[in-house]
Chain A
Amino acid sequence: MIAFWIILTGALVAVTCGLLGCFLILRKMSMVGDAISHAVLPGIVIAFLLSGSRETLPMLLGAGATGLLATFLIEYFHRRAGLQTDAAIGVTFTFLFAVGIILISAFAGKVDIDQDCVLYGEIAYVPIDLWVTANGTIMGPRPVYILSVVLLVVSVFIKLGYKELKLTSFDPAFASALGISTALWHYLLMAAVSFTTVSSFESVGAILVIAFLIGPPATAYLLTHDLKHMLAITVVLAIFISFTGYWMAYWLNASIAGCMAVITGGCFVGVFSIRQLIKPKGSQAITNEVMA
């Protein structure tokens, strides 16, 4: 049963992140996920200090607030100050993370959080974190419920906004000519990423969130040109990674999040090598020439 809950949690996070990650990759914004997942640290520390507990809701609110603050700052520095995007991301999230560590040090006695938990997460504790109703019935692990809701919301969001997301990702100019607000959809997507990152990192950690956001979509991107196929392949890969990652960790007796990240890398390397081998001769020659 423990294995089932952990794999289910991993799969839920992986599918949610993967679906959003497809759009991030197409928009060349993958690192925004990295930024958000680190920028949540000061948010959870402040939420902890204010609420005095590790209740889920204040944590989510605090983390969500700083996650969105990070996306806003990145966009603001990029648009207003003309800072290149990658630098805007780097400056913003490191600043917020540093503030988080300083807050932890300043309130060392009061805060039961450290930076490891943000980076690593602890998916192995998921089955212990049970949801018990008022009359004592055990409903199963709480994160599974939370993550299911998140997956549902994200799926509905992508289903309803599919056309807009697709257009603003591939051809922003055409999209705005059709009257679709690129800024609106940018912020909606960012909000969805923040929301997902924030609800996932507690169970799987920032690093695995990044791996799930980028790994499966990047692998799928190598295999197809069709966005719908890309989303489908991502979902399949995500479930596969969660499953094999868990059993690899079980077998090696090692970090589950780490193993899932390793399997993600393995999938990518496998597909990448196959693509290199069966690449048509002509295009290979051209690439070689360009490289030389």
Chain B
Amino acid sequence: MHSLIDFFSFSDPNVRYVVVGNVLLSASAAMVGAFILLQKKALVGDAVSHAVLPGICAAFLFSGSKNTAFMLVGAFITGWLALVAIDYITAKSKIKKDAAIGLVLSVFFGVGMVMMTYIQQSGNAAQSGLDHFIFGKAATLIGSDLIIFSILAAVLLVVVGLFFKAFTLVAFDRPYAQALGYPVRKLDLLLTSLTVLAVVTGITAVGVVLMAAMLITPAAAARYWTDNIRRMVGIAVAFGMFAGLAGAYISYTAPSMPTGPWMVVVSSAIAFFSFFFAPRKGIVPKLYTQRRNQRIIAEENTLKIFYHLGERTGHFNGMRHFNELTGAREVDKPLLEATLKRLVAQKLLISQGDQWGLTDGGWRKATRVVRLHRLWELYLTSYMNIAADHVHDDAETIEHILTPELERELEAQLGYPDKDPHDTEIPKI
């Protein structure tokens, strides 16, 4: 608790640098990442982050020192070249995007490795710590780096803000953007440059491998909470900032812990939570809806058995044995028992020992389902010209879905019919 107060009072200038740096880096990466994700280029960040290695080495060879600005320029150039190479390969040959990304990634990194060994043999004393640029060391952020990062983050923020509408359009509907006269290829190039910029700024904090996560993990998580792109970008930035803050805090309380990997683990945790629990799109809510629909279908089908038995015997309010029910329709027995219990609880059925009968409410509901089924069968035969013996399966599904409005519409269109295509009565309530 004490460390929490210490941390958030930001009294230690070191803490201030690391926190501000982390938050800026992750926020700007997440913002650009949202557009990359929507363009289905999520792994491009991985390629760029590996491709900066030769640029960093070249900058080091050229300047002979670990000057941050030089390194960033070198990294930017090779990162950019890598992206252009990926686009060129995919546009000019039958090689697909994924293969182009993997190829460019490994070859550029290979070039970097060769240059790295050359630097190591050159014996330049300044080379030690060069690998911080590759593997990341967020905790070593210092004041002058922070200024560079702030400028870069601000540039990213402003440019994305200015071109927000254009990027959105290109991400969702490329041909339409083209038709409207947007310079689609120039916008692609701009987004490419922004991606490289975000990667280059972030790489010193989290390293080559984890940079891909900074770009896309917050965006992938945000995608599960909204369908609105403005909100999605906002949520992604918020997730990214939180991860940056959490990473800095963890490595502050446990100094042996690396900041970058913790940032990635935190944002992955947010993403996993979103994949599972985000309303509507998450795995659990989806399963829940599925389960509920299955229950409703099982209940309505069970009520229908009672109705059909009623039609056969001429009276709807009699009590039925379990065997009678299973004889009328092919059903899974344990499922039927569970469904019967639920229907009794809903007061749609009454039970006496091992016998069940429809209540008034149950009869009404059963009648409605049968009615919808038969109306739909009639609709299919008279409007879609489908043979009467082919319409049952379709009606079996749609009877659970049709709304009262559609029911009225169907009835009106069919001229308030009495008989379905099999010449059985369409019941009225």
A residues near B (Cβ < 8 Å) are 25, 28-31, 33-34, 38, 77, 80-84, 86-87, 89-91, 94-95, 97-99, 101-102, 105-106, 108, 115-116, 119-120, 207-208, 210-211, 213-215, 217-218, 221-222, 249, 252-255, 257-262, 264-265, 268, 272, 275-276, 287, 291
Asked if B107 contacts A95 (CB within 8 A), the reply is: no
Q: In the complex, what residues of A have CB within 8 A of residue B118's CB?
A: 252, 254
Q: In the complex, what residues of B have CB within 8 A of residue A115's CB?
A: 135, 207, 209
What's the dominant secondary structure at chain B's contact region?
Answer: helix
Please name 14 pairs of A and B residues whose Cβ atoms are closer than 8 Å in the assembled complex, sorted by A: A28-B99, A34-B46, A84-B42, A94-B264, A101-B258, A102-B265, A115-B207, A207-B50, A208-B110, A210-B102, A215-B107, A249-B114, A255-B117, A259-B114
B261 within 8 A of A: yes
Asked if B93 contacts A272 (CB within 8 A), the reply is: yes
Residue in chain A with minimal CB distance to B92: A276
B106 within 8 A of A: yes
Cα–Cα, bound, A268→B135 (Å): 28
Q: In the complex, what residues of A have CB within 8 A of residue B117's CB?
A: 253-255, 258
Q: In the complex, what residues of A have CB within 8 A of residue B224's CB?
A: 81
Q: In the complex, what residues of B have CB within 8 A of residue A80's CB?
A: 283, 286
Cα–Cα, bound, A57→B388 (Å): 66
Chain B, 272-290, contact with A by CB distance < 8 Å: what is the 0/1 string?
0001100001110010000
Asked if A84 contacts B40 (CB within 8 A), the reply is: yes
Asked if A260 contacts B43 (CB within 8 A), the reply is: no
Asked if B121 contacts A253 (CB within 8 A), the reply is: yes
Asked if A87 contacts B42 (CB within 8 A), the reply is: yes
Known: A81-B224, A95-B265. 9 other contacts (CB 8 A): A30-B98, A90-B46, A95-B213, A95-B268, A101-B261, A207-B110, A218-B103, A261-B113, A264-B107
Q: In the complex, what residues of B have CB within 8 A of residue A105's CB?
A: 256-258, 261
Asked if A94 contacts B92 (CB within 8 A), the reply is: no
B216 within 8 A of A: yes
Q: In the complex, what residues of B have CB within 8 A of residue A261's CB?
A: 106-107, 109-111, 113
**Which of A25, A87, A265 is B220 in contact with, Cβ under 8 Å?**
A87
Asked if A90 contacts B45 (CB within 8 A), the reply is: yes
B116 within 8 A of A: yes
Q: In the complex, what residues of A have CB within 8 A of residue B41's CB?
A: 86
B210 within 8 A of A: yes
Residue in chain A with minimal CB distance to B44: A86
Q: In the complex, what residues of A have CB within 8 A of residue B50's CB?
A: 207
Cα–Cα, bound, A103→B105 (Å): 26
Nearest 4 pairs of A and B residues by beta carbon: A261-B110, A258-B113, A265-B107, A94-B213
Q: In the complex, what residues of B have CB within 8 A of residue A213's CB?
A: 102
Cα–Cα, bound, A211→B99 (Å): 10
Q: Smallest Cβ distance from B170 to chain A, in angstroms?
A: 16
B96 within 8 A of A: yes
Q: Smallest Cβ distance from B44 to chain A, in angstroms?
A: 9
**Which of B45, B107, B109 is A268 in contact with, Cβ under 8 Å?**
B107
Asked if A264 contacts B106 (CB within 8 A), the reply is: yes
B171 within 8 A of A: no
Asked if A258 contacts B114 (CB within 8 A), the reply is: yes
Q: Smallest Cβ distance from B128 to chain A, in angstroms?
A: 14
Cα–Cα, bound, A45→B323 (Å): 60
**Which of A86, A90, A275 is B93 in contact with, Cβ under 8 Å?**
A275
Asked if A265 contacts B114 (CB within 8 A), the reply is: no
**Which of A29, A82, A272, A291 is B281 in contact with, Cβ under 8 Å?**
A82
Q: Which interface residue of A99, A213, A214, A287 has the most chain B CB atoms within 10 A?
A: A214
Q: Smallest Cβ distance from A174 to chain B, in angstroms?
A: 20
Cα–Cα, bound, A287→B92 (Å): 8
B204 within 8 A of A: no
Cα–Cα, bound, A200→B51 (Å): 22
**Which of A28, A253, A264 is B96 in contact with, Cβ under 8 Å?**
A28
Q: In the complex, what residues of B have CB within 8 A of residue A77's CB?
A: 275
Q: In the complex, what residues of A have CB within 8 A of residue B114's CB?
A: 249, 252, 254-255, 258-259, 262
Asked if A257 contacts B220 (CB within 8 A), the reply is: no
Asked if A34 contacts B105 (CB within 8 A), the reply is: yes
Q: In the complex, what residues of B have CB within 8 A of residue A33's CB?
A: 102
Asked if A91 contacts B220 (CB within 8 A), the reply is: yes
B112 within 8 A of A: yes
Asked if B257 contacts A102 (CB within 8 A), the reply is: yes
